[in-house]
Amino acid sequence: AQSVSQHNHHVILSEAASLELGCNYSYGGTVNLFWYVQYPGQHLQLLLKYFSGDPLVKGIKGFEAEFIKSKFSFNLRKPSVQWSDTAEYFCAVNAGQAGTALIFGKGTTLSVSS
């Protein structure tokens, strides 16, 4: 069965600091990888996704993630965070074939102080 592990439960940063959130998954086959963000009181928004090709993917709001197949990782990065990045971040994975659900990590709470 697939599983997703997010190592950081709560990250606290000052504005302009760099961010890296860890995500590892366990699944032996082809996977699709996603990062979602959930701002306080709002619904999920897709930050970025990886299906194939260039393992470095760029998303919205200056976020990027790198897929390292050998490490089963898909870490999220942002060079300089802003106060408005305060939110819950979820890594998710599904198998490559159609009709399979997303499996979510437990989430990482990011708090950015101004």
Partner 1 sequence: GAVVSQHPSWVICKSGTSVKIECRSLDFQATTMFWYRQFPKQSLMLMATSNEGSKATYEQGVEKDKFLINHASLTLSTLTVTSAHPEDSSFYICSAGGAGIRYNEQFFGPGTRLTVL
Burial of 68 (0-12, 13-18, 19+ CB in 10 A): exposed
Buried-state track 75-88, b at ≥16 Cβ within 10 A, e below 16: bbebeebeeebbbb
| Closer Cβ to partner 1, 17 or 44, answer by number | 44
| Closer Cβ to partner 1, 11 or 44, answer by number | 44
CB of 108 to partner 1, least distance (A): 10
CB of 45 to partner 1, least distance (A): 8
The binding site for partner 1 (CB under 8 A) comprises: 32, 36, 43-44, 46, 49, 51-52, 88, 90, 94-107, 109
| Closer Cβ to partner 1, 42 or 80, answer by number | 42
